[in-house]
Amino acid sequence: MDTNRSRPQLSRRRILKGAAVAAVPSVLFPDARAGARTAVDYPAAEWQPATTANYTSSDRPATYAVDRVVIHVTQETYPDTLAIFRNAQKAVSAHYLVRSADGHVAQCVREADVAWHAGNWGYNTRSIGIEHEGWVDQPEYLTHALYEQSAKLTASICARYGIPRDREHIIGHYQVPGTDHTDPGPYWDWVRYLRLVNFA
């Protein structure tokens, strides 16, 4: 550190300028929390980040092409799923979580990063994972709001990555090679969902 430099003198003008800047509303100079609101890839989503221990940082699609959307059902409630994604001991995450009651969308992992949702590294690298609050054997969780908002999200993802809006590219977790999962389960209405995705 250079201690021989002379210290700047505070003039009345400098003091007044500083006071003026301090008086400017925070709208003009947003705080750090504003960045969190704009961190989402899907504008209708709320940022609810998973712990960085539960996904792999990447730069997709530069590092891996994205050509699939994987549909999941959580087997947990919405708040419990968010808690699991924030727990480094769980080693699991998804890019998005859709709430049953109102279709509210949370983004938990940036699309550029590799979420750990499919149980298959190759499918994790090439897909966006969407979890839906509910249980595979409880169809009451599959509400109209959930289907509608999830379909809008999937349509947006497909548009951004050039993914065809069909069952070959929008798949259930049970279709991932090597998985022992059955979600989204027998009550998931694929015909309805694909129709909503294609008309979104």
The upper half-sphere exposure of residue 32, i.e. CA atoms within 13 Å in the direction of its Cβ, equals: 0
User: What whole-number distance in Å separates Cα of residue 2 and Cα of residue 55?
Assistant: 44
**What pTM does this model have?**
0.82
Query: Could you tell me if 82 and 74 are in contact, meaning their C-beta atoms sit under 8 angstroms apart?
Result: no
- The confidence band for 22, taking pLDDT boundaries of 50, 70 and 90, is very low
Rounded to whole angstroms, what are the CA distances from 173 to 44, 69, 123, 127, 166? 24, 10, 10, 11, 15
Q: What is the pLDDT of residues 137-166, one digit of tens each?
A: 999 999 999 999 999 999 999 999 999 999
